[in-house]
Structure 1
Amino acid sequence: MAAVLTDLERLTIRAALEDLNTAFCHHLDHDDVDALLELFVDDVYYTHGSRVSRGKAELQEVFRGRSATEKRTARHLYSGLKLEIESATRARGTCVCMTFADYGEPPLSPAIPTLVADFVDEYARGGDGRWRIKERHIHRIFVDPKNTGPVGLKR
């Protein structure tokens, strides 16, 4: 059963989780792995297709591997955040993420999405008051044929 929270508390949580998802897309797009990792709890559980990462160390390998051999340009757009706020420190959410990505320097053409996916998340608010992603499961819905695998795998 969902916690009894005031409207203001619910709106504050929603704003924080929207900011969290926006920060995820921004840091991922700009290859800021250190800032990206700060958005997750230490024992994060993250899945994308067949790739499973447990903990920040494994997740760091995935994110650092994205541009390890050549320049990768990407933009992630998320929308439709649906939240189930369980308490002042726990929430679940789903949203849709559309990805435009290719190897090389911008501008790149054509601008065709390489992936449309559902993000199914669990969020936790830490003792420091910050919300973080506890679990993220990426379910691929539409995939461009050139998209050869989960994040971190080279073509």
Structure 2
Amino acid sequence: METQIERLERLETRLAIESLNADFCHYLDCNMIDELVELFTEEARYSHGLRRSCGRDEIRRLFTDRTRKGERTSRHMQTGLKITMRSPVEADGRSVCMTFACDGLPPISPATPFLVADFIDEYQYCSDGRWRIRKRHIERIFTAPDNTGPVGLVNNH
């Protein structure tokens, strides 16, 4: 039987991981690259289709390059987070993210989802007391007709 302290720790962990995911969406949409990169462990792996980034430096380069291509407006809405604890310092997560994205400044019309994807994650509790993303794989489920693939691949946004 779970003790009250164990229940509180489980709740605290869940809230921290929910906050981590909310921060990811917010920082990405607001082009807050330094804050975004801090959400990952040093050796993190971040993949979307054929695009692979390993470590904070490659992740930083991916999102920095994204901002160099001109104005891009996006909004990421994440829901359905399912967390499985593997140990007190490791967890797996799976959630759904719907993205609206377009090159240019708002207001954007029409408002059509650009991508609906599953986020398949591994989280790590770090020595500084923060949960971070150790691995995130984006699995494309629904795509808009003009969605040519992950940002950062040749011939893509």
TM-score range, shorter chain: over 0.9
Identity level (%): 52
Aligned to 1:53: 53
Aligned to 1:100: 100
The 5-angstrom pairing of residues 26-105 of structure 1 reads 26-105=26-105
Instruction: Report how many aligned residue pairs link the two structures.
Output: 151
Aligned to 1:125: 125
What code does the residue aligned with 2:90 have? R
What code does the residue aligned with 2:19 have? D
Q: Provide the aligned C-alpha RMSD in A.
A: 1.1
What code does the residue aligned with 2:141 have? I
In 1: Cα distance, 2:119 partner to 2:57 partner: 21
List alignment gaps of at least 5 residues for structure 1: none
Report which stretch shifted further, 24-33 or 67-76: 67-76
TM-score normalised over the length of structure 1: 0.94
- How big is each residue's C-alpha offset from its partner over 1:77-129, in whole Å with a ceiling of 9 and x where there is no partner? 00000000122211000000000000111010111100000000000010111
Aligned to 1:8: 8
In 2: Cα distance, 1:46 partner to 1:127 partner: 21
Which runs of at least 4 in structure 1 moved beyond 2 Å after TM superposition? 151-155
